[in-house]
Chains A and B, each alone.
Chain A
Amino acid sequence: MRMKTITHHATGATLLALAALTMSAPVSAQEMRFDEAVELVQSSDPDSIRLGLETLGARAEARAVAPIAARIRSGLPAELTELAVTTLAVMERPEAGPVLIELLSHRRPSVRLAAIEAIAATKPRQGGEALMRALDDMTPSVRAAAALALGQIGHRAAIDTLFTALERDVLEAAQAIGQLALPTHMDRLFDHVGQMPFDVLTPAFNELFARSDFPDRAKIDLIGRLAELATPQVKTYLTELADQLPSGRVKSAATEAAERIPG
Chain B
Amino acid sequence: MTLRLTTLALLLAACGGGASGSFGPMYPDNQQSSIDSVLGRLQANPAPSPTAVAVGLTGAPHQLYAVDLETGAISWKVPVDTPASGPQIGGDLVFLHETRGVVARDLASGAERFVVEDDALHLAGAGGEGDWSVLALTTGGGVGARSKLVIARRGSVKHDLEIPHALGAPTVAAGMVFVPWATQNLTVLDAVTADEIARVRVTDTSLARAFRVGNDLYFGQRGVFRLTPSIVSGARAESAYFEPMAREIPGNPTLMVDPYRPAPTPDSAVHSIRFAWRPAGSGETLHFADETVYAVFYRFVFALDPNADAVRWVYAHPEDIVGAVAQDGGLTVADEAGGLAFLGAQDGLRRWSASVDATPTVVAIRPGDHVPTGAPEGEAMSLHDQLLAAAQNTDARLVPARKMAVHMLHALEEPDVTAHLITLCDDQRAPAPVRTEACGRLAERTTGAEHVIAALERHDRYLTNTEAGPIGALAQAAVAMEATEAAPSLIAHLVDPSTPAAALAPLLDSLRALEAADAAEPVRNFLRLYHAEVEGDAMLAAMSAAAQTALALDADPAVELLETLSADSLAPGPVRGKLTDALEAYRAAQAEAEAAEGEEETEEAEEGEEAEEEEASDEPPPIPERVTLPMVQAALEDVRTPMAACLANDSQHPRSARIVLVLAGDGSVQLVTINPQSVQQCLEPLIRSADFPANSNDARQQLTYTFRR
Binding site for B on A (CB under 8 A): 44-46, 73-78, 80-81, 105-109, 112, 135-138, 143, 161, 164-165, 168
- Chain B 368-396: CB-based contact to A (< 8 A → 1; otherwise 0): 00000000000000000000000000000
Which residues of chain A are within 8 angstroms of B525 by Cβ–Cβ distance? 73
Which residues of chain B are within 8 angstroms of A168 by Cβ–Cβ distance? 462-463, 465
**Interface pair B495/A105, CB less than 8 Å apart:** yes
10 contacts between A and B (CB under 8 A): A44-B568, A73-B525, A75-B568, A77-B533, A107-B530, A135-B462, A136-B461, A143-B462, A165-B463, A168-B463
Q: A75-B565, A77-B570 are in contact. Are A106 and B529 (CB under 8 A)?
A: yes
Which residues of chain A are within 8 angstroms of B528 by Cβ–Cβ distance? 73-75
**Interface pair A75/B496, CB less than 8 Å apart:** no
The 6 closest A-B pairs by CB, nearest first: A75-B532, A78-B533, A44-B569, A138-B498, A136-B461, A107-B497
**Interface pair A105/B570, CB less than 8 Å apart:** no
**Interface pair A164/B463, CB less than 8 Å apart:** yes
In the bound complex, CA of A77 to CA of B525 (Å): 15
Please tell me which one of the listed residues B463, B465, B533 contacts residue A75 in the complex, with CB atoms under 8 A apart.
B533
4 additional contacts, CB 8 Å, given A75-B568, A105-B497, A138-B497? A108-B497, A112-B497, A136-B464, A164-B463
In the bound complex, CA of A138 to CA of B529 (Å): 21
Which residues of chain B are within 8 angstroms of A107 by Cβ–Cβ distance? 497, 501, 530
In the bound complex, CA of A109 to CA of B462 (Å): 15
In the bound complex, CA of A112 to CA of B531 (Å): 18
Please tell me which one of the listed residues A46, A76, A135 contacts residue B463 in the complex, with CB atoms under 8 A apart.
A135
**Interface pair B531/A75, CB less than 8 Å apart:** yes
In the bound complex, CA of A135 to CA of B529 (Å): 23
Which residues of chain B are within 8 angstroms of A109 by Cβ–Cβ distance? 497
Task: Tell me the number of A-to-B contacts counted with CB atoms below 8 Å.
Answer: 60
Q: A44-B568, A73-B528, A74-B528 are in contact. Are A138 and B462 (CB under 8 A)?
A: yes
In the bound complex, CA of A50 to CA of B364 (Å): 81
**Interface pair A76/B495, CB less than 8 Å apart:** no
Which residues of chain A are within 8 angstroms of B461 by Cβ–Cβ distance? 136
Q: A73-B525, A136-B462 are in contact. Are A108 and B533 (CB under 8 A)?
A: yes
Binding site for A on B (CB under 8 A): 460-465, 495-498, 501, 525, 528-533, 565, 568-571
Which residues of chain A are within 8 angstroms of B571 by Cβ–Cβ distance? 75
* Chain A min CB distance to B459 (Å): 9
Which residues of chain B are within 8 angstroms of A44 by Cβ–Cβ distance? 568-570
Smallest Cβ-Cβ distance to A161: which chain B residue: B463
Smallest Cβ-Cβ distance to A107: which chain B residue: B497
* Chain B min CB distance to A172 (Å): 13
Majority SS of interface residues in chain B? loop
In the bound complex, CA of A41 to CA of B463 (Å): 38
Smallest Cβ-Cβ distance to B462: which chain A residue: A136
In the bound complex, CA of A136 to CA of B462 (Å): 5
In the bound complex, CA of A112 to CA of B532 (Å): 17
Which residues of chain A are within 8 angstroms of B465 by Cβ–Cβ distance? 168
In the bound complex, CA of A106 to CA of B525 (Å): 12
* Chain B min CB distance to A139 (Å): 8
Which residues of chain B are within 8 angstroms of A74 by Cβ–Cβ distance? 528
Smallest Cβ-Cβ distance to A109: which chain B residue: B497
Smallest Cβ-Cβ distance to B465: which chain A residue: A168
* Chain B min CB distance to A71 (Å): 11
Which residues of chain A are within 8 angstroms of B498 by Cβ–Cβ distance? 137-138
* Chain A min CB distance to B196 (Å): 77
* Chain B min CB distance to A148 (Å): 16
**Interface pair A138/B460, CB less than 8 Å apart:** yes
* Chain A min CB distance to B525 (Å): 7
* Chain B min CB distance to A47 (Å): 12
Which residues of chain B are within 8 angstroms of A164 by Cβ–Cβ distance? 463
In the bound complex, CA of A107 to CA of B460 (Å): 13
Smallest Cβ-Cβ distance to A106: which chain B residue: B497
**Interface pair B462/A75, CB less than 8 Å apart:** no
**Interface pair A137/B462, CB less than 8 Å apart:** yes
**Interface pair B495/A75, CB less than 8 Å apart:** no
In the bound complex, CA of A74 to CA of B528 (Å): 5
In the bound complex, CA of A73 to CA of B533 (Å): 13
In the bound complex, CA of A161 to CA of B464 (Å): 11
In the bound complex, CA of A109 to CA of B461 (Å): 15
Smallest Cβ-Cβ distance to B464: which chain A residue: A136
**Interface pair B533/A81, CB less than 8 Å apart:** yes
In the bound complex, CA of A45 to CA of B569 (Å): 8
Which residues of chain B are within 8 angstroms of A108 by Cβ–Cβ distance? 497, 533
In the bound complex, CA of A106 to CA of B565 (Å): 19
Which residues of chain A are within 8 angstroms of B533 by Cβ–Cβ distance? 75-78, 81, 108
In the bound complex, CA of A136 to CA of B498 (Å): 11
Which residues of chain B are within 8 angstroms of A80 by Cβ–Cβ distance? 570
In the bound complex, CA of A106 to CA of B529 (Å): 9
In the bound complex, CA of A28 to CA of B463 (Å): 48
* Chain A min CB distance to B214 (Å): 66
Which residues of chain B are within 8 angstroms of A105 by Cβ–Cβ distance? 495-497
In the bound complex, CA of A81 to CA of B530 (Å): 10
Smallest Cβ-Cβ distance to B570: which chain A residue: A44
In the bound complex, CA of A109 to CA of B498 (Å): 10
Smallest Cβ-Cβ distance to B496: which chain A residue: A105
Please tell me which one of the listed residues A76, A138, A161 contacts residue B532 in the complex, with CB atoms under 8 A apart.
A76
In the bound complex, CA of A165 to CA of B463 (Å): 6
In the bound complex, CA of A44 to CA of B567 (Å): 10
**Interface pair A46/B570, CB less than 8 Å apart:** yes
* Chain B min CB distance to A146 (Å): 10
**Interface pair A75/B529, CB less than 8 Å apart:** yes
Smallest Cβ-Cβ distance to A45: which chain B residue: B569
Which residues of chain B are within 8 angstroms of A106 by Cβ–Cβ distance? 497, 529
Smallest Cβ-Cβ distance to A112: which chain B residue: B497
In the bound complex, CA of A136 to CA of B461 (Å): 5
Which residues of chain A are within 8 angstroms of B565 by Cβ–Cβ distance? 75
In the bound complex, CA of A106 to CA of B570 (Å): 18
In the bound complex, CA of A135 to CA of B460 (Å): 12
**Interface pair B495/A136, CB less than 8 Å apart:** no
Which residues of chain B are within 8 angstroms of A161 by Cβ–Cβ distance? 463
In the bound complex, CA of A138 to CA of B464 (Å): 11
In the bound complex, CA of A30 to CA of B464 (Å): 48
In the bound complex, CA of A164 to CA of B464 (Å): 9
In the bound complex, CA of A45 to CA of B530 (Å): 17
In the bound complex, CA of A45 to CA of B568 (Å): 10
In the bound complex, CA of A81 to CA of B525 (Å): 15
Which residues of chain B are within 8 angstroms of A45 by Cβ–Cβ distance? 569
**Among A73, A107, A161, residue most surrounded by chain B Cβ atoms (within 10 Å):** A107
* Chain A min CB distance to B260 (Å): 59
In the bound complex, CA of A76 to CA of B497 (Å): 17
Which residues of chain A are within 8 angstroms of B532 by Cβ–Cβ distance? 75-77
Which residues of chain A are within 8 angstroms of B460 by Cβ–Cβ distance? 138
* Chain A min CB distance to B498 (Å): 5
In the bound complex, CA of A34 to CA of B525 (Å): 27
In the bound complex, CA of A148 to CA of B533 (Å): 28
Which residues of chain B are within 8 angstroms of A46 by Cβ–Cβ distance? 570
Which residues of chain A are within 8 angstroms of B496 by Cβ–Cβ distance? 105
